Chains A and B, each alone.
Chain A
Amino acid sequence: TQLLEQSPQFLSIQEGENLTVYCNSSSVFSSLQWYRQEPGEGPVLLVTVVTGGEVKKLKRLTFQFGDARKDSSLHITAAQPGDTGLYLCAGDPTNKLIFGTGTLLAVQP
């Protein structure tokens, strides 16, 4: 059973556009992590959000944790081709890290 649903599954945009990726669950998480994975590599941690309502910024990326700690979003401003990759949210409901379904982002130059 997949506890974390991400949307959209695929996203192809032009350089300079903005986008938002969503990560939703019916379960409450003590924290959520966001990773980016590029082809041929393992996922790399971008951020961990811990507090309900928390907003964290990482350059052009803004991460938000829902007030009820059941959902999270990732907003990218002025996307660049280097942002291309598979974006994954992940949470730890029972001492095992559960990953979301993933959002594959392609940014065209």
Chain B
Amino acid sequence: DAGVTQSPTHLIKTRGQHVTLRCSPISGHKSVSWYQQVLGQGPQFIFQYYEKEERGRGNFPDRFSARQFPNYSSELNVNALLLGDSALYLCASSLAGVGNQPQHFGDGTRLSIL
């Protein structure tokens, strides 16, 4: 079975632009979470969606938004990009909500802002 897939793998943008990152969860998983990871640090929670509804939101500005589709895939959108948005963006899926559920991560999208 395919794992969590993310696209694109790498992306270069300039300040002020917007970006859409995509995630396909493991088949049968209904929960998708998004994380931002700066090099050498732990991932920071951005959003969690379960059954197409937002179930959790981290401490990120309103420039960050996400949604989950009926097939449980998800998109993360970031508007008005800043240099500080440069990071690895990780998507994780799980069967249900977060809690004790193991999170299965994709390999991420490396976003560079020039």
Q: Which of A63-71, A77-85, A88-96 contacts B (4 or more CB under 8 A)?
A: A88-96
B103 touches A41 (CB 8 A): no
A89 to B101, CA, bound (A): 14
A97 touches B45 (CB 8 A): yes
Partner among A33, A86, A88, A104 whose Cβ is within 8 Å of the Cβ of B102: A33
A98 to B45, CA, bound (A): 7
CB distance from A40 to the nearest CB of B (A): 7
**Interface set of A (CB-CB < 8 Å, partner B):** 4, 6, 30-31, 33, 40-45, 48, 50, 86, 88, 90, 92, 94-102, 104
Partner among A42, A88, A96, A104 whose Cβ is within 8 Å of the Cβ of B98: A96
A100 to B40, CA, bound (A): 11
A18 to B56, CA, bound (A): 38
B42 touches A101 (CB 8 A): yes
CB distance from B21 to the nearest CB of A (A): 13
Partner among B41, B102, B108 whose Cβ is within 8 Å of the Cβ of A45: B102
Chain A: CB-nearest residue to B40: A104
Chain A residues with CB under 8 A of B57: 96
B98 touches A43 (CB 8 A): no
Chain B residues with CB under 8 A of A48: 100, 102
A42 touches B100 (CB 8 A): no
A34 to B104, CA, bound (A): 12
A26 to B6, CA, bound (A): 34
